[in-house]
Structure 1
Amino acid sequence: MVFQGSSTAISHTGKVRSNNQDSGFAGSNLFVVADGMGGHAGGDVASSLAVARLESLDHPYSSPPEAERALRDAITDAAGELSDTVRVRPELAGMGTTVSALVMVDDYAVIAHIGDSRIYLFRDDALTQITTDHTFVQRLVDSGRITPEEARFHPRRSVLMRVLGDMDTDPEVDTFIMPTQAGDRWLLCSDGLSGVVDDPHTAKTLAAGLAPGRTADSLLKQALDAGAPDNVTIVLVDVGGQHPIFSGTPTIVGSASNPLGIEVPAARPGRTSWLHPNRQAANEPTHFEPAAEFLEELIEEDRRRARRRRAGWIVGLVLVLGLLAAGFFTAYSWTQGRYFVGADEDSVVIYRGIAQDLGPISMSTVYEDTGIRLDDLSEFTRDRVVQTIPAGDLDGARRIIESISLAGGAP
């Protein structure tokens, strides 16, 4: 049965990258996001080849298990095509792509996933991440070493543990079947969206109930407003709903939309100096690291980083406390060279320090009780003493006391 609903696909280079290595596909039954990696040309080729291989699956299926088998086989075939391509063009070695694919079969969604692109389900005003990121930081989250919020800003957040690449012709792909229902909104996206627009803002946008095209435009705008450091690809699928039934030719976006995108590019001619190597994929930015053999090393590196961070906090705290203590000691030492005259219950007293408190800490102590009773003073002098009379040093305090004793009035 042909899927009854509406969909859209959109892709943008972003504000930092010079080219778009993402590919997206929205057909009648099949929906795909692929995020390529491995250099300027390698990522383009990898995501384009993956989408081109999966396009043939865009037709009705007799059962969800049949669609699940077809997805798994097609993705495995795509891995073989990537490997064959690298044998022809070894300078593309290391290229790969994520794949997040969705096939609608009757009242079921058939899902295949590898990498860190994501599939979300928005149902009953709640957004749920359906796929699990195959990343190093997700391993840390699953093991309780870091929180999901810490994972969003972890320096290794882009290190993939599983990817559709040229080095593994039998990739480990997650596939599963879920029931779906009218009103569901399925969101497939590259990490160019999920990495910069958090789930609460995504859920709010999906909850607005706009048509898929306008909803995708709004999500893209949020990613661009947040800086869009990576390519952004969004495929949105509404099950049933108030918007027009999807019909017509498939929508293909990103690298796969270029008719030449799935062709292996020619080698760059000319210079071969260290500034312009022919190994195009190797010297371009990539976030793929084949991780099986590096996992324990990466985990230990993260432990060391966490220990260094804790040690840094402890050292910083000790330094701050030390500076505060030194400052307090210096200030307190200065106050102990100051004196003032004040009252203590019913007599005149010379105090050492200053007539102020630092919270619960008194900055003065009784230095000498003069024996002069407050009741023997004039009202004006008594008020001055009660309010304290600054004396500077001890000699100044004694002169004030002598003035009070001899005159019996104002000092």
Structure 2
Amino acid sequence: MVFEGSSAAISHTGKIRSNNQDSGYSGDNLFAVADGMGGHAGGDVASSIAIQRLERLDQDYDSTDDAQASLQAVVTTAAADLIRAAKERPELAGLGTTVSAIIMVDDHAVIGHIGDSRIYLYRDDELTQITADHTFVQRLVDSGRITLEEARYHPRRSVLMRVLSDMDNDPELDLFVMPTLPGDRWLLCSDGLTGVVDDPHILKAMRLGLPPGRTADNLLKQALDGGAPDNVTIVLVEVGGAHPLSSGPATIVGSASNPSGMLIPAARAGRASWLHPVRQAANEPSHFEPAADYLEELIEEDRRRAKRRRIGWIAALVVVILALTGAGFLAYSWTQTRYFIGADEDSVVIFQGVQQSIGPISLSTEFEDTDILLADLPPYQRSSVERTINARSLADAMAIVDRLRAGAEAVTGETTMPRPTPTPTPTTPPATPTAPAEGEDAG
């Protein structure tokens, strides 16, 4: 049975790289993305070989088991082709490619995956990443050592743990089957998209409900607006729905669409290297498959980086705490240079500090009880004291108290003396006994 739906495929070099090492395929039943690695020449060849081998799988299958067996066999054959290409053309040594593919069999999707290209499923207004990245940083995420957000910017995010290459004639392919429903949208893409456009923005584009071609254009534009430092390849498949599949040949994009992709590109002029160092760096491999000893070195380096990061966070926290403590001490010291006049239960009091509190902590204390009774004050002065009267200094506070005392005397007709400030009472040291004069009786 031929898969019923609509699809689109698009591939772009990006804004930095000078050649496209990605390849993509969108047919009747097969949909695939391959992201090449191995330098300016090797990546083109690797992704082209993978797609040309996979293209043979675009046919009807009696069962999902048949489709899985065919997919595994073709990927193994592609690995042998890469090994042979590297032997025949030594300049291609180290070439490799990711592969993410779907074969539609009736109402099931047979999925094969190796590398860090991705397959997403958009269903019921939700976006789910179906494949797992075979990368060093994904292992760190899976082990809980870094977060997904940290993985996006990790310096080793391009280190692949599994890839289709000239170093393994028996590639370990993730192979599984999932049911698919009318209205599902399957997105296959290289990391040139996901490295720039995060999942929430991909989901937002899917929710617009545009045809696959326009949705793919939308996603590509977001990647380009974000700088697109790598090649971007997108294959979008809609199961059934309102966008019927138009008849015509399969769509092949990227290196596999150009026969010259199988040739070694000519070397670039040397002058461009110093005029455009960023572009030259962009032509270096976008992925790297490490040897076992190198992986151990990376793990140890990551441990050291994590330790430095923890020490940095602790040091920053200590600095912040010290800064807040110092600022709090200075602020409290300043409050203790302020005074105001207020009332306790029945008398006028000079307070030191300000009239605010920090939670249960009051920023003022009683400095002196003046013994002026609130009942003796004229009504307007009593009201002012009850609302509190701010003073610019202790001397200003004393002057305000003197005026209040005068007001109280005018009401009572009595003179109230200010409360004397207690002074320490001198103590007389005990007399030192003297010895009796010579000839006197000591008794």
Normalised to the residue count of structure 2, the TM-score between the two structures is 0.80
Structure 2 CA distance for partners of 1:341 and 1:111, relative to 1, 3 Å: closer
Aligned counterpart, 1:188 = 188
Aligned counterpart, 2:325 = 325
Return the letter of the residue paired with 2:380: F
Taking the aligned partners of 1:17 and 1:53, their CA distance within structure 2 comes to 26
Taking the aligned partners of 2:378 and 2:63, their CA distance within structure 1 comes to 106
Q: Report the secondary structure of 2:286's partner residue.
A: coil
Of residues 226-235 and 253-262 in structure 1, the stretch that sits farther from structure 2 once superposed is 226-235
The offset of 1:44, in angstroms, is 1.8
Q: Report the secondary structure of 1:337's partner residue.
A: coil
Taking the aligned partners of 2:211 and 2:27, their CA distance within structure 1 comes to 17
Q: Report the secondary structure of 2:175's partner residue.
A: strand
Structure 2 CA distance for partners of 1:333 and 1:107, relative to 1, 3 Å: closer
Aligned counterpart, 1:22 = 22
The offset of 1:153, in angstroms, is 4.2
Taking the aligned partners of 1:123 and 1:334, their CA distance within structure 2 comes to 62
Q: Report the secondary structure of 2:50's partner residue.
A: helix
Taking the aligned partners of 2:403 and 2:329, their CA distance within structure 1 comes to 34
The offset of 1:252, in angstroms, is 0.9
Q: Report the secondary structure of 2:262's partner residue.
A: coil
For residues 216-235 of structure 1, what are the structure 2 equivalents within 5 Å? 216-235=216-235
Aligned residues: 406
1:243 matched to 2:206? The reply is no
Aligned counterpart, 2:86 = 86
Taking the aligned partners of 1:122 and 1:403, their CA distance within structure 2 comes to 80
Aligned counterpart, 2:118 = 118
Q: Name the larger-Rg structure.
A: 2
Taking the aligned partners of 1:5 and 1:100, their CA distance within structure 2 comes to 19
Contact kept, 8 Å, 2:18 with 2:283, in 1: the verdict is no
Q: Report the secondary structure of 1:260's partner residue.
A: helix
Taking the aligned partners of 1:191 and 1:385, their CA distance within structure 2 comes to 72
The percentage of aligned residue pairs carrying the same residue is: 69
Of residues 73-82 and 387-396 in structure 1, the stretch that sits farther from structure 2 once superposed is 387-396
Taking the aligned partners of 1:269 and 1:194, their CA distance within structure 2 comes to 32
Aligned counterpart, 1:151 = 151
Aligned counterpart, 2:417 = none
Q: Report the secondary structure of 1:53's partner residue.
A: helix
Contact kept, 8 Å, 2:21 with 2:255, in 1: the verdict is yes
Taking the aligned partners of 2:230 and 2:47, their CA distance within structure 1 comes to 15
The offset of 1:100, in angstroms, is 0.8
Structure 2 CA distance for partners of 1:405 and 1:229, relative to 1, 3 Å: same
The offset of 1:364, in angstroms, is 1.7
Q: Report the secondary structure of 2:357's partner residue.
A: strand
Of residues 16-25 and 299-308 in structure 1, the stretch that sits farther from structure 2 once superposed is 299-308
Gap runs ≥5 in structure 1: none
The offset of 1:243, in angstroms, is 2.9
Aligned counterpart, 1:376 = 376
Contact kept, 8 Å, 2:41 with 2:263, in 1: the verdict is no
The offset of 1:241, in angstroms, is 3.7
Taking the aligned partners of 1:283 and 1:259, their CA distance within structure 2 comes to 20
Q: Report the secondary structure of 2:202's partner residue.
A: helix
Taking the aligned partners of 1:274 and 1:399, their CA distance within structure 2 comes to 79
Contact kept, 8 Å, 2:377 with 2:407, in 1: the verdict is no
The offset of 1:267, in angstroms, is 5.7
Contact kept, 8 Å, 1:91 with 1:281, in 2: the verdict is no
Contact kept, 8 Å, 2:378 with 2:407, in 1: the verdict is no
Contact kept, 8 Å, 2:121 with 2:129, in 1: the verdict is yes
Normalised to the residue count of structure 1, the TM-score between the two structures is 0.86
Of residues 181-190 and 321-330 in structure 1, the stretch that sits farther from structure 2 once superposed is 181-190
CA RMSD in angstroms comes to 3.2
Contact kept, 8 Å, 1:162 with 1:291, in 2: the verdict is no
Aligned counterpart, 2:54 = 54
Return the letter of the residue paired with 1:373: L
Contact kept, 8 Å, 1:37 with 1:286, in 2: the verdict is yes
The offset of 1:29, in angstroms, is 2.7
Taking the aligned partners of 1:225 and 1:70, their CA distance within structure 2 comes to 39
For residues 54-82 of structure 1, the C-alpha deviation after alignment (integer angstroms, 9 at most, x for no partner) is 22333334443333223222222222332
Structure 2 CA distance for partners of 1:203 and 1:406, relative to 1, 3 Å: closer
Return the letter of the residue paired with 1:308: R
The offset of 1:198, in angstroms, is 3.5
For residues 21-62 of structure 1, the C-alpha deviation after alignment (integer angstroms, 9 at most, x for no partner) is 211011233221011123233322221222123223333344
Q: Report the secondary structure of 1:116's partner residue.
A: coil
1:167 matched to 2:167? The reply is yes
Taking the aligned partners of 2:27 and 2:244, their CA distance within structure 1 comes to 15
Contact kept, 8 Å, 1:93 with 1:282, in 2: the verdict is no
The offset of 1:285, in angstroms, is 4.6
Return the letter of the residue paired with 2:196: V
Structure 2 CA distance for partners of 1:373 and 1:331, relative to 1, 3 Å: same
Taking the aligned partners of 1:149 and 1:80, their CA distance within structure 2 comes to 37
Contact kept, 8 Å, 2:40 with 2:265, in 1: the verdict is no
Aligned counterpart, 1:354 = 354
Structure 2 CA distance for partners of 1:143 and 1:407, relative to 1, 3 Å: closer
1:304 matched to 2:304? The reply is yes
Q: Report the secondary structure of 1:161's partner residue.
A: coil
Aligned counterpart, 1:77 = 77
Return the letter of the residue paired with 2:349: V
For residues 197-221 of structure 1, the C-alpha deviation after alignment (integer angstroms, 9 at most, x for no partner) is 3334434544544332223223323
Taking the aligned partners of 2:7 and 2:123, their CA distance within structure 1 comes to 16
Structure 2 CA distance for partners of 1:40 and 1:108, relative to 1, 3 Å: same
Taking the aligned partners of 1:40 and 1:305, their CA distance within structure 2 comes to 31
Taking the aligned partners of 2:282 and 2:150, their CA distance within structure 1 comes to 29
Structure 2 CA distance for partners of 1:316 and 1:282, relative to 1, 3 Å: closer
Return the letter of the residue paired with 1:236: L
Q: Report the secondary structure of 2:192's partner residue.
A: helix
The offset of 1:247, in angstroms, is 3.1
Q: Report the secondary structure of 1:247's partner residue.
A: coil
Contact kept, 8 Å, 1:45 with 1:261, in 2: the verdict is yes
